[in-house]
Structure 1
Amino acid sequence: MAYQAGKSKRVLYCAGALCAGLGGFALTPLAQAASELASGETVVLPEVQVSASSPGTDAPVKSLRRVTANGALGSTAEIDTPFSLKTVDARDIRERQASSIDEVLAGDSSVRQTAGAVVGVVSYVSVRGLLLDQVNGYKVDGLSYINRAELPLEMVDQVQVLKGLSGFMYGFGSPGGVVNYQLKRPTDNPVLDFGARYKSDGVFSESVDNGGRFGPEQRFGYRVNAVQEGGDTYVDGGHVRRDSGGLALDARLTDSFTWDFDALQSTRLAKGVYYGIFPGAGVSIPHTIPGDSKLAEDGSYFRTRTSLATTGFKWELSPEWTANVHYRYGEQYTGWREGSLNLLNNNGSYRIAQSAQLETFTSDQLQASLEGSFQTGPFYHKLVVGASSLDILQRRDANAASATINGGNLYDPVDLSGYSISTAGHNRHRFLNIDEDAAFVADTIDLTEQWSIIAGWRYTDFQQKNYDRNTGVQLAGAAGDYQEKKVTPTYALMYRPWKDTTIYTSYVESLEKGGVASISNSNYGEVFAPIESKQYELGIKTQGQGWNTTAALFQIDRGAQYTDSTNAFRQQGNVRYKGAELGGEVSLASEWTLSANALWLDSKYHAVPGLEGHNAAGVSDFQAASRIRYAPGALQGWAFSLGANYYSSYDFNAANTLKVDGYTLFDVGAQYQTRLFGKRTTLNAVVNNLTNEQYWVTYSSSSPSLMQGAPRNVALSLSVETF
């Protein structure tokens, strides 16, 4: 089901104008104060009153009873969900001063960074050893979001990760899972917060968060966010500039009917970036290098513009039944001029393959669901039924420019000459069109007080059309038009032996978009059919006063993707991921909070010529994360934290001929809360990679690449809550 892009764009532009107008209205008191200063009038400030308050109680152990949106399962408490979940809220994001998804999820051992937005293009992560795909692996409020740019985390209220197959919950997607960003919404109480932040080596940002309700009976709500960031990054020659704005509105038109709308726009320009480091034939994995090394040539950049607009309603038909309908239009523009660093020998010498291209993604999604409960005899049912229609159009550069220049050496960085190519005058042609129509139903049945089952099915009609990027003409035959109609089921059995404990077993199937041979493959541009995956999971979730524990055993069978001995990208056979997750969080007395978790993972190729029994590329067999937080009662207002992440070594390629060393990262933080002028004020300091560990970040795609890990870096912030 497709929509008219022109209408969608008009909706988006109107949303932007409305955002600016309401933002000005909400910040009128600030403008009036500034006017008084400019006019030379004497402004009398009140006496400064400083008082400290302990933030120790701000970080309690999170309850597994929190109700969150879980795709086709509807709104469900985490402890009642037969899958592994991880939730990070805005408070955690602020305290860790996270600016990318890998930093947000650093406390989860099942997640690992696979690319960074400071030295590279966009932050990507893998979950359970599987790289999340850019098109379907990331959502905003449960709807489509193309992850080709950094989402402004200042506008995010919560990040949730579903680990494992998401075919039933969200439709097409990588079997690693789904990252779902939940944006900030209008609040019942007034909000006006200001923030300022510094990050190594000279990046400064300012932000404002304003929200509340107005009108008769406080029926209308708003939330406005704005962020500006710019400065030199921790990489020599690196620079970033970011401007973001967001608006959320709602109207409680009746006691049972609520309309909502939100819009977001963010632009970002990163300089001093490169695409990746690619070891050539016969070249070993190089020794690690300092994280601030300058490898990119002068004039490199990656530019993005993200626009989202969403509107819909929630209708409480009765105390038991609720309907939701939402429409989302999204647009993602990217333009880049950067290089791939091709290693020539084991001495670190490299040549740069330059590229200058433009790319655009547009997406339209309409989703409707009905959620409710009823009883049949002795059985209690929670039913969710719904339908979704998603249209994604990718346009790629018809005039993609490339050039090859002599590079430098990893161990002796020098300034490299700039680019002789650009994107000036380039056109974008239709390259890929995905139409995904789906219907889903899930029934959670309580058989007794202790036993319940879940049965769910998602029917998907998936059609993918491929086009010649140079002409925009659809490719002939199966290469140009692929269609798949399939039902992906999920089944689960849950047992509650006592209160706040759930033991579950679940089965789920999933589909994901087929791979595309990369520019370094001999069959560059070849598009493959969707991949099928299956997952089996057995787990337990339990909690008590001041503690919680989760554990899971899982097996994922996924269609294999690899580069063969002829350097061609292939899809054949499967990879089996067998793993175990164990984690927990506990409050020790009233001052200490400890969290720790670990992932054990074994991955092997099956029925793949030449790779039988090989380890999957980019998959560590052990990962662990821990964090301890101390809020001493003797130091009112203070809290301190220490975190550690460990990643074991892993194979770089499917042939298992190259190995990447493991590494351990430490971070420390300090937070002080007080009151200035009666306003809650928080000072925060974080040092990441405390020991300045040198390590490689690996992107395991059809053509795996390396990227230098971040060096020791510092983040400082000040936030003021005026209400």
Structure 2
Amino acid sequence: MSHALPFSLKPCAAALLLALTTGMLVAAAPAAAQTAAAAAVREYDLPAGPLAATLNRIAREAGLAFSTDAQLMQGRSAAPVRGRFEASEAMRRALAGSGLELLGTTGGGYTLRAAAQPAPGAAGSGSVLAPVTVTAQADSATGLPAAYAGGQVAKGARLGLLGNADVMDIPFSVTSYTAELMENQGARTIADVLKNDPAVRYSTSDGHPFENFRVRNFAVNQNELVVDGMYGLIPYGRTPVEMFERVELLRGPSALFTGMAPAGALGGTINLVPKRAGEAPLSRVSLDYVSEGQLGTRFDLSRRFGNDKEWGLRLNGSFADGDTALDGQSRQRQLLSAALDYRQGGFKGSLDAYYTKEKFDGGTPAGVMFRNPALGVLAAPDASLGLFPAAYGESENKAAILRTEYAFNDAVTAFANVGVRHGKVAGFFTGTWVVVTGADGAGTVSMSGQRMYEKNVNTEAGLRLNFRTGGIGHEMTLQASRLKMDYGYDANSNGGTTNIYAPSYVAMPALPGAARKWSDKTFDSLAVVDTLSLLDERLRLTLGLRHQSYQVVPTSDGIAIGGEVAYDKSVVTPAAAVVFKPWGPNVSLYASYVQGLSQGGRISTDNGYVRNHTFAPYKTKQTELGVKWNAGSFTHTAALYQITKPELITFASGAGLDAIDGGEKRVRGLEWSTFGEVTRGVRVLGGVVYAQSIQSKTQGGLLDGYAAVGSPHWQANLGAEWDVPGAPGLTLTGRVQSSASQWLTNNHTLKLPGWSVFDLGARYATRLAGRQAVLRLNVNNVADRNYYSGIFREGAPIGTLGAPRTVSASLTVDF
């Protein structure tokens, strides 16, 4: 199997070699690289004022990491700072007379401690307070919300076309996972990151070449992730995380803020924020190991250039190869990404480009289908068994995203963005499952080898306006966007027999010669959103409308091999939300009403229906009430929500089948999530979800009130980190994931059991040959439990398999 490339890239190996060489050259002057931000001389004219505000301002403008205890600075004043100084000197001058002194940390940042005071009769003696490690990181060059206490999540997230917002101002349940968390947990794909979230479950067997999810008990497919609010630009297959600074989850439907998802994802929006060059130089190299024999290396290089540091460049690359936890399988993954940004005056621009390639052979993870209620659901097989030992596949993706904006003044900013992506796959990516036919685990296999491609172009432009009418502030966004998707597909299938507990070799069918063009899809939309602020920002009201058009133009091949039909519909979706802070900035009460969009049902004579018809896009409606409490170093969110989704009802009529828009699924849930540092050196992340998902309207009312498939009542995740006292640099970690039982069939004849798995880890920050280094070890599914993690999709009784015990280790060194 070969794929001709328009350029030669043998692949990231050459780039990695270059990066390692660059790292060695940079190592010749490590001190200069680590202290460049602090050494930059700036003009200061700061009057006396609150100490915390002054120090945070200096650190933010210089791009320094500043760690301290807020109580240490409480009630203290800063001395005036006037003149040209390095940032560290400016901070020391501000501390004059405060009784505190500035200390440098091993990571290149700064902290405070009480200045030594001589004891009576003992000049020069005294005691000091130990430095504290509550991090207050300056915002990045791109204005990203800073990391929250503990560093695992951020203080805010991107709210679609509205841009970045503080979590306390967002009228939804949202979590923004940081690159620090991804690094510490050994995450390599988006699925690894979202294992931290109680509202998310993986809906393909772990390690599958496609990563699909269920959020709030609704499907979100791998091709429906967004990059900075834009669909269609994510890699086809598994999405590597090395090129992203944040993985943000906005729970619930949100068509207003991001537009209609390509396949109608409704449970939530997963937004990925690309990395940008920070103020301080970065030269980082990592070596990785993942069981049973995956070896790899990664690099992360960042620099800013120009008289005012107006140019920024961030390069990321990774290469891994070797055996995986699936018996007989080997996998190779490659990534090279570049992020160039420019800022000058009112103009900001960025160009992101990436190339990814991943290939596997020797098997692929399988789903297990149960069709016979008399057999029930058999015990889950060992997830390390290769049920398709001859399966192979390869995915390849290339993309570029150009973003520009210009602020004419404080009131008007214009933006225009365009992204293009070409992705293709060849191999056994879908349709690999075993249909169980015997109580001993015997079954038949379904195997489908595909060739697929996507060529996507996403464009958007608009205005952001900030103005006041009377005593009311307005933050208004006007946006027009278009996503065009050219999709091709073809597949060959065959069958065979095996046993889920003792697999047999089954030959794979030959792949089609090429993917046949299936359809052209166009998503056009116009949106307007206005956030009104009143009562000194304590009350924020968001109102918006989006007009969405969706058109499908099928080819003759698409109609012939896929039952694709023409589609051309449009719809308007509103949203309304309010945030109220009655007791100050640390408590937010919110309520919101939003809609999600998915393609309406399609019936055609080619599929045995008696009439041709396409329904208008379905409007999925969500109402949510919630409260957020920022306790200073840890935050809680409690949300009560209801989501209703229209569904097609199919029934016998005359000589064939007919369908009406009469079905409905309803989810009512109560969700609690938390993150932050509960006490010095102890960090938590996770939450609990209780949901009742029912079939609220079914054919003839026969199944009204029955629980919907793939919808456990309870889901919980809780992770913790502990900095071991007396062992500087050593951190121990743990995480538990748990789900209750869930129905596999609509009529409740088959049910998957509940499950819980435990993960453990440790990391040690130290110095190697004078360089900052971190060693990390993570063990997932410590007990090596075999379990069904969830369902593959609604309408197909396929249980997915959780990952076996997996060990990962890494060594990261900053040069």
TM interval, shorter chain, is: 0.7 to 0.9
Q: Following the alignment from structure 1 to structure 2, what is the Cα–Cα distance between the partners of residues 652 and 721?
A: 48
Q: Residue 293 of structure 1 corresponds to which residue in structure 2?
A: 385
TM-score normalised to the size of structure 1? 0.87
TM-score normalised to the size of structure 2? 0.77
- The one of the two structures with greater contact order (alpha-carbon pairs below 8 A, sep at least 6) is 1
Q: Following the alignment from structure 1 to structure 2, what is the Cα–Cα distance between the partners of residues 717 and 652?
A: 38
- After superposition, residues 544-583 of structure 1 pair within 5 angstroms as 544-560=631-647, 572-583=662-673
Q: In 2, are the aligned partners of 1:563 and 1:702 still within 8 Å (CA)?
A: no
Q: Deviations over 1:381-414 (max 9, x none)?
A: 11111111111121111xx322222x22112234
Q: Following the alignment from structure 1 to structure 2, what is the Cα–Cα distance between the partners of residues 457 and 367?
A: 16
Name the aligned partner's letter for residue 538 of structure 1. L
- After superposition, residues 71-220 of structure 1 pair within 5 angstroms as 71-116=160-205, 118=207, 120-135=208-223, 137-145=224-232, 148-173=236-261, 174-220=265-311
Does the residue aligned with 2:181 lie in a helix, a strand or coil? helix
Q: Following the alignment from structure 2 to structure 1, what is the Cα–Cα distance between the partners of residues 12 and 806?
A: 34
Q: Following the alignment from structure 2 to structure 1, what is the Cα–Cα distance between the partners of residues 193 and 478?
A: 32
Q: Following the alignment from structure 2 to structure 1, what is the Cα–Cα distance between the partners of residues 210 and 11?
A: 29
Q: Residue 667 of structure 1 corresponds to which residue in structure 2?
A: 759
Q: Following the alignment from structure 2 to structure 1, what is the Cα–Cα distance between the partners of residues 318 and 743?
A: 40
Q: Residue 511 of structure 1 corresponds to which residue in structure 2?
A: 597
Q: Deviations over 1:281-323 (max 9, x none)?
A: 4442221122212211x32013211211111312122123322
Q: In 1, are the aligned partners of 2:519 and 2:558 still within 8 Å (CA)?
A: no
Does the residue aligned with 1:92 lie in a helix, a strand or coil? helix
- After superposition, residues 40-51 of structure 1 pair within 5 angstroms as none
Shift of 1:685: 0.4
Q: Following the alignment from structure 2 to structure 1, what is the Cα–Cα distance between the partners of residues 381 and 659?
A: 30
Name the aligned partner's letter for residue 378 of structure 1. G
Q: Deviations over 1:202-223 (max 9, x none)?
A: 1111011111122343332211
Q: In 1, are the aligned partners of 2:773 and 2:811 still within 8 Å (CA)?
A: yes
Shift of 1:707: 2.8
Q: In 1, are the aligned partners of 2:366 and 2:387 still within 8 Å (CA)?
A: no
Q: Residue 626 of structure 2 corresponds to which residue in structure 1?
A: 539
Moved more, 197-206 or 699-708: 699-708
Q: In 2, are the aligned partners of 1:56 and 1:630 still within 8 Å (CA)?
A: no
Shift of 1:616: 1.0
Q: Deviations over 1:567-608 (max 9, x none)?
A: 999975110000010122353431222334100000111221
- After superposition, residues 277-356 of structure 1 pair within 5 angstroms as 277-282=368-373, 283-296=375-388, 298-337=389-428, 339-356=432-449
Which of 227, 238, 245 does residue 329 from structure 2 map onto? 238
Which of 716, 719, 722 does residue 630 from structure 1 map onto? 722
Q: Following the alignment from structure 2 to structure 1, what is the Cα–Cα distance between the partners of residues 281 and 730?
A: 26
Q: Residue 489 of structure 1 corresponds to which residue in structure 2?
A: 574
Q: In 1, are the aligned partners of 2:152 and 2:181 still within 8 Å (CA)?
A: no
Shift of 1:642: 1.4
Q: In 1, are the aligned partners of 2:668 and 2:693 still within 8 Å (CA)?
A: yes
Q: In 1, are the aligned partners of 2:154 and 2:178 still within 8 Å (CA)?
A: no
Q: Residue 800 of structure 2 corresponds to which residue in structure 1?
A: 707
Shift of 1:278: 1.7
1:471 and 1:464, CA in 2 relative to 1: closer, same or farther beyond 3 A?
closer
Q: Residue 695 of structure 2 corresponds to which residue in structure 1?
A: 605
Moved more, 139-148 or 590-599: 139-148
Q: Following the alignment from structure 2 to structure 1, what is the Cα–Cα distance between the partners of residues 728 and 252?
A: 42
Name the aligned partner's letter for residue 501 of structure 2. Y
Which of 722, 725, 749 does residue 657 from structure 1 map onto? 749
1:586 and 1:241, CA in 2 relative to 1: closer, same or farther beyond 3 A?
closer
Name the aligned partner's letter for residue 626 of structure 2. G
Moved more, 312-321 or 550-559: 312-321
Shift of 1:162: 0.8
Shift of 1:365: 0.6
Q: Following the alignment from structure 2 to structure 1, what is the Cα–Cα distance between the partners of residues 601 and 189?
A: 25
Moved more, 561-570 or 674-683: 561-570
Which of 246, 256, 261 does residue 351 from structure 2 map onto? 261
Q: Residue 587 of structure 2 corresponds to which residue in structure 1?
A: 501
Moved more, 578-587 or 500-509: 578-587
Q: In 1, are the aligned partners of 2:718 and 2:737 still within 8 Å (CA)?
A: yes
Q: In 2, are the aligned partners of 1:383 and 1:442 still within 8 Å (CA)?
A: yes
Q: In 1, are the aligned partners of 2:290 and 2:806 still within 8 Å (CA)?
A: yes
1:57 and 1:677, CA in 2 relative to 1: closer, same or farther beyond 3 A?
farther
Shift of 1:355: 1.9
Q: Residue 776 of structure 2 corresponds to which residue in structure 1?
A: 684
Q: Following the alignment from structure 2 to structure 1, what is the Cα–Cα distance between the partners of residues 480 and 594?
A: 19
Q: Following the alignment from structure 1 to structure 2, what is the Cα–Cα distance between the partners of residues 274 and 585?
A: 33
Q: In 1, are the aligned partners of 2:549 and 2:569 still within 8 Å (CA)?
A: yes
Q: In 2, are the aligned partners of 1:144 and 1:328 still within 8 Å (CA)?
A: no
Moved more, 141-150 or 265-274: 141-150
Aligned residues: 677
Does the residue aligned with 1:94 lie in a helix, a strand or coil? helix
Q: Following the alignment from structure 1 to structure 2, what is the Cα–Cα distance between the partners of residues 468 and 16?
A: 36
Q: Following the alignment from structure 2 to structure 1, what is the Cα–Cα distance between the partners of residues 424 and 166?
A: 36
Which of 424, 436, 453 does residue 541 from structure 2 map onto? 453
Q: Following the alignment from structure 1 to structure 2, what is the Cα–Cα distance between the partners of residues 167 and 606?
A: 23
- Identical aligned pairs, as a percentage? 25
Q: Following the alignment from structure 1 to structure 2, what is the Cα–Cα distance between the partners of residues 352 and 360?
A: 25
Shift of 1:19: 11
Q: Following the alignment from structure 2 to structure 1, what is the Cα–Cα distance between the partners of residues 797 and 649?
A: 10
Q: In 2, are the aligned partners of 1:442 and 1:456 still within 8 Å (CA)?
A: yes
Q: Following the alignment from structure 2 to structure 1, what is the Cα–Cα distance between the partners of residues 153 and 433?
A: 44
Does the residue aligned with 2:256 lie in a helix, a strand or coil? helix
Name the aligned partner's letter for residue 494 of structure 1. V
Name the aligned partner's letter for residue 386 of structure 2. K
Shift of 1:115: 1.1
Q: Following the alignment from structure 1 to structure 2, what is the Cα–Cα distance between the partners of residues 257 and 17?
A: 37
Shift of 1:112: 0.9
Q: In 1, are the aligned partners of 2:222 and 2:238 still within 8 Å (CA)?
A: no
Name the aligned partner's letter for residue 589 of structure 2. I
1:396 aligns with 2:489: yes
Name the aligned partner's letter for residue 341 of structure 1. V
1:514 and 1:588, CA in 2 relative to 1: closer, same or farther beyond 3 A?
same
Structure 2: runs of 5 or more not aligned: 28-104, 108-130, 136-147
Q: In 2, are the aligned partners of 1:74 and 1:384 still within 8 Å (CA)?
A: no
1:24 and 1:685, CA in 2 relative to 1: closer, same or farther beyond 3 A?
closer
Q: Residue 377 of structure 1 corresponds to which residue in structure 2?
A: 470
Q: Following the alignment from structure 1 to structure 2, what is the Cα–Cα distance between the partners of residues 133 and 110?
A: 15
Q: Residue 44 of structure 2 corresponds to which residue in structure 1?
A: none
Name the aligned partner's letter for residue 487 of structure 2. Q
Structure 1: runs of 5 or more not aligned: 1-11, 35-50
Moved more, 488-497 or 96-105: 96-105
Name the aligned partner's letter for residue 578 of structure 2. L
Question: Over alpha carbons, which structure has the higher Rg?
Answer: 2
Q: Following the alignment from structure 1 to structure 2, what is the Cα–Cα distance between the partners of residues 367 and 57?
A: 39
Q: Following the alignment from structure 1 to structure 2, what is the Cα–Cα distance between the partners of residues 646 and 659?
A: 16
Q: Following the alignment from structure 2 to structure 1, what is the Cα–Cα distance between the partners of residues 736 and 600?
A: 36
Q: In 2, are the aligned partners of 1:56 and 1:639 still within 8 Å (CA)?
A: no
